[in-house]
Structure 1
Amino acid sequence: MIHARLTTAAWLILATSAFLGGCLGKPGPVEEYLRVGGGEAACAQEMHTGKARVAVALRQVKSADALDRQAVMLARGRVMSPSLRWYWEASPCRLAEQALVRAVNCTPGLAAIWPVRSSTEAPLGMTVTLTSFEMQEQPPVMNAAMDCQIWDGSGTKLLAARTFSAQIPARALDAQSIAEAGSRALSGLSGDAAQWVASLPTPGAPGK
């Protein structure tokens, strides 16, 4: 009888171990990091031209709290949740900052100053808030938006403000498609913002 009880207990232990081993051993989703960037080669000639350029100090780029993470935000209807599989190579805030520096430097007549220090002097200052950067699941579309403000050199007088937005369809809900849509969205937003800055009159210069 004792032997039978021990045998039953042993089987229970083995069965429990096998069950837990199966659960704990099941691999989770593979993390994939998405690269967003590029465009430097296309404007290398513009960046090194000898023409006069207006300096634009990129003083602040921040994002909404929900976007202050590397996980790709997935939107289903009005609900957003961070992906457990897909991650940007940096936070959307930093990606937007890099895209803006590239776009300003690639725009004729402008030159980006970044990073900005206490001694930095420039006739124009830019502050940006990334308010949207999420992947809609059905249909797959990258939604992105940023608020831009342009200040005078002292940073005390607001000269202009504008919101830019983009909706970029993705081929599918996979890593490559999301990375491409995110890259296109940031490139479009930053390019539009840089062109807008170039159209503004420079303080102390004749109006355009």
Structure 2
Amino acid sequence: MNDSTSRFPGKSILAVCLLALLNFGCMSSASPGESFLRLEFNGIHQCSLADDAKDIKPIAIRNIDCLPNLDRTAVMFSENNVLQPSQAWYWEGAPSEIVTQYLVTGLTCSKAFRVVWPYKPRIAHEAVLSGRVEAFEVSRTPSLAFRVVIYMDVWGPTAKEWISGRSFTAEIPMSTITADNIAKAANKALDKVLADTLTWLDNKVAIAE
């Protein structure tokens, strides 16, 4: 045999060892750690539900909708009209699930409503609340903030008579981008949307008695 490999066996062994070392290094390199951001209604541990409370309005809540590419567990970052999902930070659920749970818990703890959820048409209720998430993101422009936009409709008991609709927006400024800052800002944004929703339902929407 007179090829270069047979003449220089050391080079062949060295090449194999180098390749194995590179492969091991690539396989053993640690991937970025994943963190899951937890959100919860801030008042849930303080609210006490009274079964004998008066003037409680039964309201049914339909699961909130969201466009498929926005309804992801990855934290979304926006800059102008471009959205990019995080590769390391994730919510415990998709935005539509988070907003639905926030509304269910918040309206229950408000003591003004008896919530019917999951939505079941045959259970007596005076109104139906539905909606969609239009933004749930860390916005980089024009300034750093967490931004939530939710449009909601309230319908009559049969969900056929439209009563009113409104878009709710909350932007909470952030000093820096960290997982903890994002979670805290998102909580504050949802708190604001919930408070505005309760005011809207109490004062602006004529729910039949």
The 3-state SS of whatever aligns with 2:201 is helix
Aligned residues: 203
CA distance in 2, matches of 1:58, 1:177: 30
**1:101 aligned onto 2:104:** yes
- Give 1:184's aligned residue: 188
CA distance in 2, matches of 1:181, 1:135: 9
After alignment, is 184-193 or 89-98 more displaced?
184-193
Q: For the Cα contact (< 8 Å) 1:137–1:173, is it kept in 2? A: no
Q: For the Cα contact (< 8 Å) 2:63–2:96, is it kept in 1? A: no
- Give 2:172's aligned residue: 168
Can you list the C-alpha shifts for 1:122-159, whole angstroms capped at 9, x where unaligned? Answer: 11001010110011246431111000000000010100
CA distance in 2, matches of 1:24, 1:196: 55
1:153 to 136, 140, 157: 157
Can you list the C-alpha shifts for 1:166-208, whole angstroms capped at 9, x where unaligned? Answer: 10112421111111111111121122112211222222x4xxx
TM-score normalised over the length of structure 2: 0.89
Q: How does 1:62-141 map to 2 (within 5 A)?
A: 62-137=65-140, 139-141=143-145
Can you list the C-alpha shifts for 1:45-104, whole angstroms capped at 9, x where unaligned? Answer: 5x5552220111002311122221111111133211111100001111111011101221
CA distance in 2, matches of 1:90, 1:180: 16
For residues 87 and 52 of structure 1, do their structure 2 counterparts lie closer, same or farther at Cα, with a shift above 3 Å needed? same
**1:202 aligned onto 2:194:** no
Question: Which sections of structure 1, spanning at least 5 residues, go unmatched?
Answer: none
Q: For the Cα contact (< 8 Å) 2:121–2:158, is it kept in 1? A: no
RMSD (Å), alpha carbons: 1.9
What letter is aligned with 1:32? S
